[in-house]
Amino acid sequence: MVVHMRLGDVIDSSRNSVSDLLLRQQYFYNAEAEWDAYVRPLRHYSSLPFIPHIILLGGVHYGQTMKEPNATKSCLYVRAIQKYFEARGSKVTLRLGYPPDDDVLFASQSEMFAQAGGGFSRTIAEMVKRRGGKVFYPKYDPNP
């Protein structure tokens, strides 16, 4: 299963700590709406079925939001998600830092894809579905 994580500006320029991002749904633009829920909390991942091999996919990209990018929080977030899947017994492979076009080609070929927030992940999910793959995207649940 390919698990997409939204990294970069939405994590690294956030006022929230990595612990906050993992604990409950946070919002990049403070709109508190599904379209603004880019970074998924840990419960998003816990709702996925057990899969023996997980490929964590993401890239640290920055728009106009950061003058001096620092990917420390993104790295900590990835490590926490990796540890979570390993604790569940999955082998985890990291696929990080590739050009976005390469990630689309790679992820769209997957048989199973766990979608993150945002249009990029939604586009990949549509491609996976069209190829007959299964997409996991837990119902939006703003912090029960």
**Going by DSSP bridges, is the β-strand pair 134-136/2-4 parallel, antiparallel, or unpaired?**
unpaired
- pLDDT tens sequence across 97-126: 999 999 999 999 999 999 998 899 999 999
Higher pLDDT, 51 or 47: 51
Global pTM?
0.90
- pLDDT tens sequence across 7-23: 988 899 889 999 999 99
Identify the pLDDT of residue 124. Answer: 97
- pLDDT tens sequence across 84-101: 999 999 999 999 999 999
Place 63 in a pLDDT band, splitting at 50, 70 and 90: low
Helix (H) or strand (E) holding 135: strand 134-136
